[in-house]
Amino acid sequence: MERRGACGPPAHRHVKTLRRITAALAVVGALLLALHLGGRVVPLRNPAIYSERTPFPHDIQLTYEEARSQLVRRAGETAEAYALRAHDVVTRGMAHYWRDDGVDKYHLRLPPWENYVLWAASFVRPGMYRKWEFADPDRALERGVGLCSQAAIVLVHALRNNGVPAVIVGLDGHVVAMAAVAPGKRILLDADYGVVVPFGLTEVSANPDLVRPYYAAKYPPAKVDQLVGIYGPKGNFLDPSGAANYTAVRHRREVISYTLCWVIPLVLMAPYGLVLAGTALRRRLKRRKT
């Protein structure tokens, strides 16, 4: 006959151990779920960015809410008028900032309440995840900081979402947007520098000096010479997939990581639910036998 210990039969002890383990996992899952839910109401933009020193004077002037509302196309607004206005909104709604000293201050490293998967990954592979450029244009606009490519992602998405064909243009060291604003007419929109060039990439690649007067109106000659140089044909490319898929691998990882932020807590909590359900079922069967 099997001897009982102080904690009851071995089977009972195993059930209690399993219950403790699954309960601990459920607590972790519930905390992660609460963290992620809380992050849905915590702003990504740090208001300190409005007074932060950046390469451009008056770099960011609009709040996230102002920029978001102004990116809606107005009734009767032509494609060209909207493209110019959207360009100005993105220029004034985002700051050129990607410095190491603000990696956490301005959420270049995504905080755990926003995406704890990418936050954890930033310590494992900092080269890939420490500074995260959003594929999601709305989150990018909410954070309000980034490089030229981040501004281009936001602008191209806004244009496409409002019926204006647009693509991301990669240059040799810079990224801008190009919009088709009329039949046969394309314009280049540099929302990072706040400059509009009334030509398409084909014309500018063949004659980069076309961009000179438009940048010269805002920037010193040395900077203008540098920008003219990067508009040459070397290294230029168009991304026809647009804003959401500017970097395909990064976009997939972003989607997967945000999905995991919901899935992981549910997976951690599910075993405890099964244990509780099993316990309730055994008690019901026991009562029926008695």
pLDDT value at residue 194: 97
Tokens of 60: 């960011």
Beta bridge partners of 169: 176, 238
Q: How confident is the model at residue 8 (pLDDT cuts 50, 70, 90)?
A: low
- Nearest-CA neighbor of 37 among 134, 113, 116, 109? 113
Largest CA distance in the chain: 97
| Predicted confidence (pLDDT) at residue 76 exceeds the cutoff of 60 | yes
Secondary structure of residue 181 in the 3-state scheme: strand
In what helix (H) or strand (E) does residue 186 lie, and over which residues does it extend?
A: strand 185-190
Q: Decide if 257 contacts 118 (C-beta within 8 A).
A: yes
pLDDT digits (tens, 9 = 90+) for 91-123: 999 999 999 999 999 999 999 999 999 999 999
Each residue of 224-279: pLDDT tens digit? 999 999 998 887 777 666 544 566 778 889 999 999 999 999 999 998 888 777 77
pLDDT band at 16 (very low <50, low <70, confident <90, very high): confident
Report the alpha-carbon distance of residue 105 to residue 86 in Å, rounded.
27
For residues 201-215, average pLDDT? 95
Across-strand partners of 215? Answer: none
CA distance 174 to 193: 10
CA–CA separation, 242 and 238 (whole Å): 9
Tell me how crowded residue 134 is: count the other CB atoms within 10 A of its CB: 21
Which H helix or E strand runs over 143?
A: helix 137-143
Average pLDDT, the chain: 90
How many of the other CB atoms lie within 10 Å of CB of 167?
23
Q: Classify residue 144 as left (phi > 0), alpha (psi -120 to 50) or beta.
A: left
CA distances from 139 to 29, 84, 110, 149 (A): 25, 22, 11, 14
CB 250 within 8 A of CB 239: no
Question: Considering the entire predicted model, what is its pTM?
Answer: 0.88
Domain boundaries, the chain: 8-41+260-290, 42-246
